[in-house]
A and B are shown apart, each in its own frame.
Chain A
Amino acid sequence: MLRLLLRRFAGALVVLALVAVLVFVLTRLASGDPVALLLGDQATAADIAQARIRYGLDKPLTTQFVLWLGELGHGNLGQSIFLQQPVAQALVDRAEPTLFLALFAVAIAALIGVPAGMAAAIWRGSAADQAVSTVAMLGASVPSFWLGLILIQVFAVHLGWFPASGYGDPGTGFGQRLVHLALPAAVLGLLNSALIIRFTRAAMLDILGEDYVRTARAKGLAERTVMLKHVLRNALVPIITVIGLTVALMIGGTVVTETVFNLPGVGNLVVRAVLRRDYPVIQGTLLVIAAIYVLINLLIDLLYTVADPRIRLEGK
């Protein structure tokens, strides 16, 4: 078990090192100049050159890379060019909306996806199964910005139940911030429930065909017991996997929703940093997002070993 985890951890470090190199190289390969944007239209080439020195952008790329690695070694993600704050601080500020949005949305997706997938599997081929499959297909096809704008139109502009955008006024409490997250979480939850529905249905159908399910029924166990204790429990591994993947996808994939709802989250930060060519923010944020992905994968591996003893044995 320990050896398995150590092996995974070493692999994760290699992945992060590769990401660091890739992110730096790709960011600097992209054309564009943050300083020219920062100074505005009246700035001359001399003004821009002078300001580039202030941000260390005049140094050779290899020097900049080595300096960045040195900073990373000290746990410092660097200083944003535009935000006048450390990248780590910017990320901490942005983490809350993204994290709560992702969790809120996954909760909605799981609450819709698992029961609907189970129902579709239990009544396979019925009208209910058809309806669930159709809804899942729609959910996988609808663009999030379109659904977002529709929800804003209906629930914010016409009904006035929810705010149209943002994350609450200065000084508002957590409850108010959750209200601001309701519509974007509904968008992401509805769209991501499609994947969970399909996985749950497929996993349940696999298990329903197993011998031990027939045996359990033959023993005269109540259908509810068969479903919950034998079928659902054994289907949990793929379902946990897909829910975990959904969390990971959401943390990296909230970009469009955060943009439409003007949420100050990590996705929004990355988009704006790319547009502004705020190199330290792009590099630091992508590295942290990669680390989160790697960590979630490690956690999923760990959950596997809890849910399925055979995996534990393989590690030995």
Chain B
Amino acid sequence: MQSVTPPFARRRTILAALAASASLPWASALQAAPTRGGAANLAMIAEPQGLDPMITTADLVGTIMQHVYEPLYTFDANWNVAPMLAESLPTVSKDGLTYTIPLRKGVKFHNGREMTADDVVASLQRWMELSPRGKSVGAQLASLTAKDPHTVEFKMKAIYAPLLAQLALPSGMAAIMARESIAPQLKDFTGTGPYRFKERRPDQYTVLVRFDGYNPRKEPASGYAGKREAVLDELRFVPVPNANTRVEGALSGQFHYADLLPVEAMTRVEKAQPAVVPIVTRNFGFPYIVFNTKEGLLASAPLRRAVQTAVGSGELMAAGFGDNRFFTAEPNFFPKGTPYYSAAGDKLYNERNPQLAKDQAAKAGYNGQPVRIMASRQYEFHYNMALVMAEQLKKAGFKTELVVVDWATLVQRRNDPKLWDVYFTHSGLFPEPMLSPPQLGDGAPGWWETPAKKSALDAFNQEAVIARRGPLWGKVQQVVYDEVPFIEVGKFNSLSARSAKLEGYTPAIWPFFWNTGLAK
């Protein structure tokens, strides 16, 4: 979680099998073909942390810049990986190490030049050098080469199943840039997307305008995949960090789209129908509690398990989100019907058993040191959950110390293992488990490194076939419940709103506005 002001700063994913449900982001918008022209005012949760989609994993930057840059692959409406700048899915060698990717011909950059394999290689090299996601791919890569002007080849050191998902994600994007525009600090945002960058006035707006030379894919639109058309002349992303101001702007018709509203605003948005349309995105993200496994009281795994036994996730979610239309408390990290659904470890979820926790803590040698719970009030739901957790731990005989800081302080302090025992954060729920939380990777705060983690994740990441990866994910989930490097508290839904005038809008996790127009 990274944005400075807004709750729900990361976006998530609803997965394939859920796409049948009417409350889904991909619920198709059965509207007439939108009218060409016009400018849309789009209220976003903050000013983006720059416009370089590689340097930061902030979803807001990805949301805006996915209109300007495109990746080789993207996700369709069922969260399958689908080609975007690649002509088709890669050919993978028998040993699973070499990916040969054909590129589309006739794709133009905003400067009019045609994209070639050299641009792709230069862009991905920059991505692997600068982007946190790219670096994790780079660590697995043996070589990346342009085989001819329209083919690139990845050679991996070992089988690395998340490769295509990493290449497809809009946040921390593996964006393809014109190689002449590439610099350590981007000044020239030359991509291939349906919109090109026009102007940014920080804290006021970022304006993108239609790229007339855009060459769309031929397949019908599906999720982020398929045909993209810039129907609107202009997209104006307006940073509106104050959530109430976003609500009022949506209700007054000033904004055609308002991102991530407080759930308390649902009643007012519903009352404003039909002029304003509420958008509920299910399973948008998950709050989670990170444990310091390196130093201090909770470096002891048995004590972490005692804390987990004391915690009632259902109560925490209710405290965080209030309205039960906006959260679910369930042990599975991924929704039912998705490839990674698993009930592994479910007996250890939402136990809220103070007596058992007390016994486990005593057995683990607990002698009254306080559990330091770090949370920020910038995300009110983090703070509310932290308060309830502190009470649950007290009932189980733990001493607690609530350390309430602002978000900027929390992201600094969490890197120092001397300063905390647990902290609250949240993340988007992504279609590929390895994309989040970062604690599944190496070096993230919490510093979880154990043989059980390594063995479960190695097995999972070296299996490329999704049907076989699912059960392997269950094993990873079980290790998380057993070793408690973090607690996934539950899943929350998000609320956004759009004007009824905005036609053709397909609700999405990283909202996009191609194929979208304004009624005359």
Give A contacts to B, CB under 8 Å.
30-34, 36-48, 80, 82-85, 90, 93-94, 149, 152-153, 156-157, 160, 163-167, 169-170, 259-262, 264, 268-269, 272, 275-277
B204 touching A264, Cβ below 8 Å: yes
Selected from B132, B203, B437, the residue in CB contact (under 8 A) with A43 is: B132
Task: Indicate if B78 sits at the interface (CB-CB under 8 A).
Answer: no
**For residues 3 through 49 of chain B, which have their beta carbon under 8 Å from a beta carbon of chain A?**
4-5, 10, 39, 41, 47, 49
Residue of A nearest to B253 (CB): A160
B249 touching A164, Cβ below 8 Å: yes
A166 touching B4, Cβ below 8 Å: no
- Chain B 227-256: CB-based contact to A (< 8 A → 1; otherwise 0): 000000000101111101100110111100
Chain A residues lying within 8 Å of B344, measured Cβ to Cβ, are none
**For residues 399 through 452 of chain B, which have their beta carbon under 8 Å from a beta carbon of chain A?**
405-409, 411-413, 415, 425, 427, 436-438, 441-444
CB distance from A33 to the nearest CB of B (A): 4
Chain B residues lying within 8 Å of A170, measured Cβ to Cβ, are 199, 201, 205, 207, 236
Q: A157-B252, A163-B252, A259-B242 are in contact. Are A38 and B57 (CB under 8 A)?
A: no
| A37 to B376 Cα, complex, angstroms | 14
Chain A residues lying within 8 Å of B322, measured Cβ to Cβ, are none
Residue of B nearest to A48 (CB): B415
A33 touching B411, Cβ below 8 Å: yes
Chain B residues lying within 8 Å of A40, measured Cβ to Cβ, are 2, 49, 56-58, 132, 171-172
B41 touching A169, Cβ below 8 Å: yes
- Chain B 366-409: CB-based contact to A (< 8 A → 1; otherwise 0): 00000000000010000000000000000000000000011111
**For residues 457 through 507 of chain B, which have their beta carbon under 8 Å from a beta carbon of chain A?**
none
Which 7 pairs between the two chains have the least Cβ-Cβ distance?
A: A32-B408, A40-B57, A42-B132, A33-B412, A40-B2, A83-B202, A36-B411
Give B contacts to A, CB under 8 Å.
1-2, 4-5, 10, 39, 41, 47, 49-51, 55-58, 132-133, 135, 171-172, 185, 199, 201-205, 207, 236, 238-242, 244-245, 248-249, 251-254, 378, 405-409, 411-413, 415, 425, 427, 436-438, 441-444
Chain A residues lying within 8 Å of B202, measured Cβ to Cβ, are 80, 82-85, 90, 93
Q: A31-B412, A84-B50, A164-B252 are in contact. Are A262 and B245 (CB under 8 A)?
A: yes
| A303 to B203 Cα, complex, angstroms | 37
15 A-B pairs, CB-CB below 8 angstroms?
A31-B405, A32-B409, A33-B412, A36-B415, A40-B49, A82-B49, A83-B47, A93-B201, A149-B244, A160-B253, A165-B240, A262-B241, A262-B245, A268-B203, A272-B4
A41 touching B203, Cβ below 8 Å: no
CB distance from A171 to the nearest CB of B (A): 9
| A41 to B60 Cα, complex, angstroms | 13
CB distance from B396 to the nearest CB of A (A): 30
Interface contacts beyond A45-B415, A170-B207: sample of 15 additional A-B pairs, CB < 8 Å, sorted by A: A31-B409, A31-B412, A40-B49, A42-B57, A42-B132, A42-B133, A44-B442, A82-B47, A82-B50, A149-B248, A152-B252, A165-B248, A165-B254, A261-B245, A275-B378
| A229 to B378 Cα, complex, angstroms | 56
CB distance from A134 to the nearest CB of B (A): 29
| A34 to B4 Cα, complex, angstroms | 10
A156 touching B408, Cβ below 8 Å: no
Residue of B nearest to A168 (CB): B204
Chain B residues lying within 8 Å of A261, measured Cβ to Cβ, are 245
B132 touching A47, Cβ below 8 Å: yes
| A156 to B250 Cα, complex, angstroms | 11
| A169 to B234 Cα, complex, angstroms | 11
| A1 to B241 Cα, complex, angstroms | 49
| A264 to B47 Cα, complex, angstroms | 11
A275 touching B5, Cβ below 8 Å: yes
CB distance from B173 to the nearest CB of A (A): 12
A38 touching B242, Cβ below 8 Å: no
CB distance from B200 to the nearest CB of A (A): 8
Task: Kindly name the residue among A40, A94, A170 whose own CB sees the greatest number of chain B CB atoms within 10 A.
Answer: A40
A169 touching B253, Cβ below 8 Å: no
Task: Kindly name the residue among A44, A45, A47 whose own CB sees the greatest number of chain B CB atoms within 10 A.
Answer: A44
Chain A residues lying within 8 Å of B409, measured Cβ to Cβ, are 30-32
CB distance from A157 to the nearest CB of B (A): 5
Selected from B51, B238, B405, B412, the residue in CB contact (under 8 A) with A36 is: B412
| A32 to B378 Cα, complex, angstroms | 13
Chain A residues lying within 8 Å of B133, measured Cβ to Cβ, are 42
Residue of B nearest to A84 (CB): B50
B242 touching A275, Cβ below 8 Å: no
| A163 to B240 Cα, complex, angstroms | 14
Selected from B1, B56, B444, the residue in CB contact (under 8 A) with A39 is: B56
Selected from B172, B199, B251, the residue in CB contact (under 8 A) with A157 is: B251
| A83 to B201 Cα, complex, angstroms | 9
| A80 to B47 Cα, complex, angstroms | 14
Chain A residues lying within 8 Å of B436, measured Cβ to Cβ, are 41-42
| A260 to B437 Cα, complex, angstroms | 33
CB distance from A2 to the nearest CB of B (A): 42
A275 touching B4, Cβ below 8 Å: yes
CB distance from A226 to the nearest CB of B (A): 49
Residue of B nearest to A89 (CB): B202
Chain A residues lying within 8 Å of B425, measured Cβ to Cβ, are 41
Residue of A nearest to B199 (CB): A170
CB distance from B434 to the nearest CB of A (A): 11
| A31 to B437 Cα, complex, angstroms | 24
Residue of A nearest to B445 (CB): A45
B407 touching A37, Cβ below 8 Å: yes
A43 touching B57, Cβ below 8 Å: yes
Selected from A39, A83, A164, A276, the residue in CB contact (under 8 A) with B55 is: A39
Chain B residues lying within 8 Å of A45, measured Cβ to Cβ, are 415, 443
Chain B residues lying within 8 Å of A41, measured Cβ to Cβ, are 1-2, 10, 57, 425, 427, 436-438
| A85 to B135 Cα, complex, angstroms | 27
| A259 to B248 Cα, complex, angstroms | 13
Chain B residues lying within 8 Å of A260, measured Cβ to Cβ, are 242, 244-245
| A31 to B374 Cα, complex, angstroms | 14
Residue of A nearest to B5 (CB): A275
Chain B residues lying within 8 Å of A269, measured Cβ to Cβ, are 203
CB distance from B39 to the nearest CB of A (A): 7
Chain A residues lying within 8 Å of B50, measured Cβ to Cβ, are 38, 82, 84
| A90 to B202 Cα, complex, angstroms | 8
CB distance from B270 to the nearest CB of A (A): 15
| A44 to B249 Cα, complex, angstroms | 37
Chain B residues lying within 8 Å of A46, measured Cβ to Cβ, are 443
